[in-house]
Amino acid sequence: MSRLSQGLDGVRSAIRICLLLALALGLLGLRELGDTSVRTFTGRRAGLDDFLYTRFGSAGLAARWFVPAVVLLIVARFIWRHADRTPRDRWYRR
């Protein structure tokens, strides 16, 4: 195995981790978007949740999950664009 392909395996696994975390956060955002019940906010994030809910409604609470998911997608794209690879390499196959 060449040195280039060994480094590419690490890049692929980092991209897969970013994509799986983005998928999980996106699903949490969808769950939050579908949950329309208004509740009192308690705990560590109560101030943030109250701010987001008063400004943007239930979409603000969903954005709390969607924004980090989009950031992870951008990070995965950045990692892939700056990896040493040949033009025919793909992140999803060996």
3-state secondary structure 17-44: HHHHHHHHHHHHHHHHHHCCCCCCCCCC
Give the pLDDT confidence score for residue 39 in this predicted structure. Answer: 72
- Predicted confidence (pLDDT) per residue in 31-87, tens digit: 988 886 667 788 888 888 889 888 988 888 889 999 999 999 999 989 888 887 766
- Predicted confidence (pLDDT) per residue in 26-42, tens digit: 999 999 888 866 677 88
Where in the sequence is the domain holding 50, given as residue range(s)? 3-81
How many domains are there within the chain? 1
The Cα angle at residue 91 between residues 26 and 31, in degrees rounded to 5: 10
- Predicted confidence (pLDDT) per residue in 10-30, tens digit: 888 888 999 999 999 999 999
